[in-house]
Every structure is written in structure tokens, then in C-alpha cells.
Structure 1
Amino acid sequence: MKRIFLILTVVALLAYAVWALAGDHDAEPAPPPGQIPTAAATSSTTAALPTHTTPAMTSPYITPTPGQVMDADHGASSAIPQHTPTRTAAAPSANPSQAAAIKTATPSSKLPRTLTPDQPDWTKPDAVALWFAQRYYTLDTAIDSSPAMGPARAAQAATPQLGQTLRLTPDNGKPGAQWSELVERDGWVKATASMVTMADAPADNDRVAYRSVQVIEDRHSGTSFGTSTHLVALRLERVSGQWRVAHVAEVA
């Protein structure tokens, strides 16, 4: 009997020794990945590590909806960003009360003093883009009744759909401070357009072309009294063998 008791005692002591060597059984379990212990060392509460997402770099030509253009040659999201330039008219409204405030801008048969009647080479997208941008920003209070006449003149180089939009203007009675000053001075705006190379512009194909144009507006009343610089992104489409502007966006 004593021998059996001695054996049991030895087994119990060995079991205790093994348990003790296994480590601190009161310690907290390791936190799951992505968490760190809170300031209280004995607390089991854990705090999540902060996360950081690097903003994606986006092209001025590629934007999410709205304004998304579906191109078979460029995937599902090739688009020039949506932007309503200052002098571009809104599309017609389905609301009769609002529709009454929309009218068609009809430019004078005369040209502003800084423009010539020359036509661009309609087979070259660069020439069409420059011609469009220059007319879009050119104004002359001697013949123009509102700042909507610039885009309306440029509509000649636009697709039918964009041309219709460019010829519409909201009659809100507030043409803007720059136009008001131009009228007071009997002035005009001379627009100088030049091509700008954009490294992230989508590649052209035989029916769609993308161009960026820098336009410098010089406001005159005999002498210059102010300038503005604009960067304009254009998407052109080939219509019956000739290039026309399908979308215009002022990006800077």
C-alpha cells in the first residue's frame, strides 16, 4: 500500500512539473492579426490598427459616372470628365416652367473682330480642336448679345448632339461680372488656342480622338484689361469622314 501511495505521489509531482513548465496560464491570448493590445496591460480589450488607403491617381480623361462614355476600343470607362463650362447652356428641361427660361442662342452673321472666316481642315483633329476652342471663348460686345454666343459659334465644329446643347442658353438675367464689365467697356475677348500634350490621354483610333487645348483669353477695350487661361479637354468623333467635337470639358 505504501508503495502504491508513493508511486501516485511521484506521478502527481511530475504532472505538476509539466504543467508549470508550460508557461503563464493567466496571460492574455495573443491578439488577432491587425490588432494591438490597449494601454491596460492586463486587459483583454484590443484596438484595431489604423488603415491607410493611398488615393488612386486619375487621368483627366478617365472619370467614373456620371459622364462615363462607353468606348469599344477603350474599355468601359474612357471618358472626358463632366464639366459645364461657364458659358455652356444647359440642356432643355422637361419642366415647362423651366423650359420657358431656355432659349436658342443665335450668333450674328458677322464675326467678332478677332476672328477670320477661315475653315479648318476637317480631316485633321488638331485643326478642328483649335478652331473650336478659339471660337468657344471669343466674344465681341459689338455683335454679341450675351456670352452664350461664343459656344454657339463653336457649335459649327461640334457633333449634332453637342451642337444642340451649345446653342441653348438659360435666360436667367445674370450673365456674369466679366461679361457685364466687357459690355460697359464696349470690349471684346481675343482667344488664342494652342495644343497641349497630355501623357495620360487615351490613344486615338479611326473614329475617336482626344485633344487638350490651352486657351488664353485677352479682354480688350482698345487696351488689354485682363487675361485668363483655360485648359480644355476635347473628345472628337469622326462624322462622315470629318472630325467634330463630341464633348468639351474645362479642366483647369
Structure 2
Amino acid sequence: IPSLWKISEIGQFADVKGGKRLPKGESLIAENTGFPYIRAGQLKNGTVLPEGQLYLEEYIQKSISRYTVSSGDLYITIVGACIGDAGIIPDVYNNANLTENAAKICNLNENIFNRFLSLWLRSSYLQDIINSEIKSGAQGKLALARIKSLPLILPPLQEQHEIVRRVEQLFAYADTIEKQVNNALTRVNSLTQSILAKAFRGELTAQWRAENPELISGENSAAALLEKIKAERAASGGKKTSRKKA
């Protein structure tokens, strides 16, 4: 790595804290009480998805109010099929409560950019380390202590910002290409169905029929050839000639 880059651990530059499950016997509600509860299924694509958002009643929120997130914090899922998914808490979820199935990475050192850390957590290099850790463990869970000890390769702050700018620029370009490809595939599929429809309406062979009328209605047509075959079979008594074995 470049000489000015540092090799350290995440816990040296940030705090790692767990979320909180609901108190026993309590449940979430669909009514917007102003106290959103972030579930593991919402933690995708580097952000928090709002679909299916559920809420806490105020008296429940007060009992677990120490387990909230702030906008700009990072999250990482610690159990389940999508373990290791990471991203940034958006502004709209400031002070929301976080599921016990995820941890928050907060109070970042001034020398680390949260968007750079998010990209680092989502990199294949770190994801491979996380997956290896899970497979070798007995509980199938990413412990908070293990998150703190995950390696961190840290460029100077200005370079972190430049890395993020370039990566996000390339991501946007990739999204544009993907949309263009999907649109092209849609047009190809539509064209394929149109071609098949024309084929079975006889539109594709209209000119061929005009140029080869003798094959349509003459003695060389399919119908005429079929009648010849029937006549030959009738003349031979309908018997099939057998091949002699050598």
C-alpha cells in the first residue's frame, strides 16, 4: 500500500455498539408514532430502506432510548442470511431505534470519512474476512469485539474523499450502463415476439410465396407430394419394405 496509508483496526477509529430488541411481550405498530424502529431487512444497498417501516409506541421507546442511531452513523448486520451488510444511516432515521440484529459504528475519529468506511466495510476484501470469521465460529454471529478488530486500511483524509468521489462516480456510470442494457433487452424481447407473430401470420414469407407459386399449388407443392406418397403406399398394399441384414 502507499507509504502514507495506515493499517489499523476499526475499533481504533470508532466505537461499535449493539442495537436492542423489543421488551418481552411488546410489538411494533404500523402507525407513525415518530419513533421508527429499524429492522435488519431494511438494511440493504448501503442505506436504510423505508418500505414496510414499523414504529414503537412512546412508552416502549423510552425504555430502550439508549439504543438509537444518529444520521451519519454506520450500521453492520451481525446475524442472519445477510450478515455483514453495511451502510450509512440517512438523515431521516436520526434518533431511530436499531434492531439487535445489527450494530452501529459511531463516534468516528476526525481522521476517517464515514462514506469511505462504508465502502471499506462493503469491499470484497473485508466481506471475505467476515464470511471466514462466521464460518469458523460456533454461533454464526458477528460479535461486537470482532467488528472492532476488523482490519482497516486508512489513506489520508483528503485521499479518502477522492476515493469516495471516484468510486461513486463509477457506481453511477455502472448504473447507467445497467439501465441501458435492461432497456435494450426489453426492446430485443419485444422485437423477438413481434418477429414470431409475423412468422406465424405468414407475413415473413409473403414474398417467398409470390416468387414460388409452383411450390404452393403446383405438382411440387406439399399437398401434391403427400397425395403421391399416399398413392404409392396404396399401390404397394400399404406394406413397408424391409431392409435386409448384411
Output the TM-score relative to the length of structure 2: 0.22
Decide which structure has greater strand share. Answer: 1
TM-score by length of 1: 0.22
